[in-house]
Amino acid sequence: MSRLQSLKVFVSQRLSAAVDEIFGHFEKTISEYEEELNRRHRRMLDVVLTPEIKQRDVREQSARKEEVPLSSRSGSPSLTRRTQSPHIKEEGGKCGEQLRETAS
């Protein structure tokens, strides 16, 4: 066998081993994802099929709907004071004229 042929065989073997290793990792990752999806589906089915859990969730959701968030309250003096911008009155005295001249 010539050196070129032995090099081709060596490279081919190494590439085959690398491909096998990559596919092994790929298959492992896919099976882990499938297991995770199955766990999530089982949890979702348990929630839907278990009446006690379902009733508790409904009670929690209705309790949350009854609460009024602060942002939806209108007319609160503390909120309106913060959102209003301060009004600055400009007077036309000597200072005001001097500032306008220097700005020009």
What pLDDT, in 10s, does the model give residues 38-54?
Answer: 999 998 888 887 776 66
Which parts of the chain fold into alpha helices (H)? 3-49, 51-66, 77-83, 94-103
Can you give the pLDDT at residue 5?
A: 94
Q: What is the pLDDT of residue 80?
A: 47
pTM of the model: 0.40
Q: What is the mean pLDDT of residues 8-33?
A: 97
Residue 75 three-state SS = coil
The owner of tokens 């909120």 is 79
Which segment of 2-11, 28-37, 42-51 scores lowest on mean pLDDT? 42-51
